[in-house]
Amino acid sequence: MITNTELEYKGNLYPNHIVEFTQDTDKLYFTTANGVVLQITILRGSVFRFRYAVNHIFEPDFSYAIDPEGTMGYSKLEIVENNTEYIITTARLSVLVDKMTLRIQISDLHGNIINEDELGFHWEENYEYGGNTVKMSKITQTGESFYGMGDKAMHSNLKGKKVENWVTDQFAYAKEQDPLYKAIPFYVGLTKGNAYGIFFDNSFRTSFDFSQERRNVTSFWADGGEMNYYFIFGPEMSKVVSSYSSLTGTPELPPMWALGFHQSKWSYYPESNVKEIAEQFRQLQIPCDAIYLDIDYMDGFKCFTWDKNHFPDPKRMIAELEEDGFKTVVMIDPGIKVDRDYWVYKEALENDYFCKRGDGPLMHGKVWPGECNFPDFTNPEVREWWAELYKEFMTELGVHAVWNDMNEPAVMEVPSKTAPLDTRHNYDGYPCTHRKAHNVYGMQMVRATYEGVKKYVYPLRPFVITRAAFAGTQRYSSTWTGDNVATWEHLWIANVQIQRMCLSGYSFVGSDIGGFAEQPDGELFARWIQLGIFHPFCRVHSSGDHGDQEPWSFGNEITEVVRKFIEIRYQLLPYLYTMFYKYSKENLPMIQSLVFFDQEDSQTHFRTDEFIFGEKILVCPIQEPNAQGRRLYIPRGNWYDFWTQEQVEGGKEKWVIAQLDKIPVFVKAGAIIPKYPVQQFVGEKKLEELLLDVYYKEGTETSEVYEDAANGYDYKKGRYALSNFKLTGKDNSLTIQLFKDGDFETDYQYIKICFYGLPFTITSVMVDNEEMELDCLLVESDHVLRIDKNFTLLHITGNE
């Protein structure tokens, strides 16, 4: 008999000296004497992938995060060996691989160290589950700052913080509470003016320590899987985020109505309540494009069913709402009620689509319907089946969009709040447990939803929303920041979260305006609306437990303020739509933190409040009660007050008065801001003209306006209109050149141009080198012109 078989605890293990180097085109392999293999893949001159294998064995190379349609390529690759290291050189970077330790040092071509290993890669055997806990530690450079990591309710600069990625249902979470609903293991480091990014592509529970435990060390590790990370060099933050977004993908353009104002509650029912809400919006002339139905529209909370007592004829109701300009968005959760008379449950059971526990029985847990089983969305067959379930909703009933909630997956009345770790998953043919699949479960659910909605709303574009997400989920869905609270602190949190999500490649994001839990007072609700209309996804949502939270719920004064700002959002729809176009095509975040906007200005490195909406509008929300104004930092350059058109010099702090009906907003000098007339919903009016607000600048500035049919896929066939404007301002003249691309013909024939900040009075106007009669062009005032949309060159001159 063998006794005393306790395993030896080995602790941290490290690679030793390199004994072999091989190259396979863009992949370089370094093998150590103790069986560690480092694979370095050169994707671009500025993007490297680092994978580490232990015992000579790499795991299957599969990732849900990486966009299969992403493109890469490089122009130069040289490898030199000397006595102590291998030197890899591309057109942008130099990478040293130490022969004795396998540690990495990355520098730019001027010799400036960007990133270097401290202990580098190391690992620890996991005796409970098998495999390894994989670890990486880096030297923190002097003055280095850290940003990103997705959904974190803390300061935008993560220096000195430790965070965790484990998708978690956190009802009424607090500031600094972690983890939350998203797992995006990507951060941007900024050191000595150079920005770089690290994306740790590992779906296990991951942790990041940004110099908290040791002030000179940044480290990250995972409870399993591979040490597999991408290094992305800027040196501009914009290039880092753009390259990361190229790796993990960006979404297609949404329908424009998805960028309008949306109203939601847990829950609007019965049908008469839904109709009452819709009628109130139209009577009060408050623009709104969508109304949401939470779980109470279902029969016993069973997905893909309707409570016929509350909604006797959903097809008729949805059609009538659409006649009034409202799209209907319905919630679908992952938990399927255990009920053998329930057709969805029967299909999943008969086809073996539910997740199972380690020893074979179905994984079950309590959610809203009671006892539920959960489809394994990491199984391609299950995703195909799930997509087909939307056919009736979308094609027969006319539902416009779908909202996936509780898809962490959230499980009630268990300490873990989610599925047991021994739950098994297909993982697209690479079977694993919930330890590996948990963080991607919600992503794969909404992926299946997206495929179904896209198929059955065609030829229109899909709109889908998810609560849980992993890196890359932005390819399929918009998102929001989960179950927040109606407090001033959460208003601050929402501001920071949206900036961080956009920096993390996920721009189609918003918060529950006004707070989900508890109820705001009128002032807080108004201030939250003033922030929310400048977020890509704009929706009021509340639990309904504490009172009403519609725009008119707080008295006439607040209603007027709310209407005013929602109307501003609808005026800015072409600007917002252009922002989304640049996000989807150029991978530019729709919301930019000040450090992203100007990383060379050290004053921006710790700013959390102000942000850039698109590239031309500075937004400075009010985040304290009873505020009559606030101090704020205006970035370097020249700006115009949005309300008064007063010119302001940036690069300094400034006190700005802001009564309840305003927040400080500034427009960049030289910007051309497109506007539409106020509509009660997208498509209500046929556009008769496009308004361009032109803000004078001495010098040159470029702006863009993107337009198409606002829905459908004709834009992919060239039927879009992309107007590129180049503004050049001088002491007594201003020139606007227009370069057009695309075949889309807009409804309007004229452009109304409103000039702000001109240092002269207009005395002459030339359009395409032809002198025009000034009186024929001036409208409303001496600084507003109306001209044909097909101009290519506008030149105005005047006297000081």
Q: How far apart are alpha carbons 710 and 577 in whole angstroms?
A: 9
Cα four-point dihedral sign 512, 466, 64, 223: positive
Amino acid at 728: T
| Pairwise CA distance, residues 604 & 190, whole Å | 12
Q: Is 313 a catalytic residue?
A: no
Catalytic: which of 408, 512, 567, 707?
A: 408
What does 80-113 look like in DSSP terms, one character per residue?
A: EE-SSEEEEE-SSEEEEEETTT--EEEEETTS-E
What is the per-residue burial (b if ≥16 Cβ within 10 Å, else e) of 603-629?
Answer: ebbebbbbbbbbbbbbbbbbbeeebee
Residues 6+ apart with CB under 8 A from 722: 581, 704, 705, 706, 707, 740, 741, 742
Cβ 176 vs Cβ 153: under 8 Å:
yes
Q: Which of 608, 683, 668, 692 is nearest to 259 (CA)?
A: 683
In sequence order, what are the residues at sequence separation of 6 or more whose Cβ sits closer than 8 angstroms to the Cβ of residue 17? 32, 33, 99, 100, 101
Sign of the CA dihedral with 703 first, then 709, 711, and 715 last: negative
Interatomic CA distance for residues 503 and 498, integer angstroms: 9
- Which has the closest alpha carbon to 302: 270, 344, 355? 344
Pairing of strands 512-513, 538-540: parallel
Q: Which of 307, 483, 567, 701 is catalytic?
A: 483
Task: Report the distance separating Cα 737 and Cα 740, nearest Å.
Answer: 10
Nearest to 329 by CA among 480, 548, 501, 150: 480
E-only strand ranges, 423-558: 424-425, 432-433, 464-466, 469-470, 478-480, 509-510, 512-513, 538-540
Residue pair 603/626 in contact by the 8 Å Cβ criterion: no
Angstrom CA distances, 32 to 10, 90, 97, 136, stand at: 19, 24, 12, 17
**60, 50 in Cβ contact below 8 A?**
no
Torsion angles phi and psi, residue 570, rounded to 5: -70, -35
Q: 139-144 long-range CB contacts below 8 Å, 24 or more apart?
A: 139/216, 139/217, 139/218, 140/210, 140/211, 140/215, 140/216, 140/217, 140/218, 141/113, 141/189, 141/191, 141/192, 142/191, 142/192, 143/191, 143/192, 144/189, 144/190, 144/191, 144/211, 144/218
Candidates 518, 460, 466, 470; CA nearest to 491 is: 518
Catalytic, out of 405, 550, 598, 701: 405
- Based on the residue annotation, tell me whether 169 is a catalytic residue of this protein: no
Does 405 participate in catalysis according to the annotation?
A: yes
| Residue 245 CB-half CA count within 13 A | 27
Distance CA 609, CA 592 (A): 11
Active site residues: 405, 408, 483
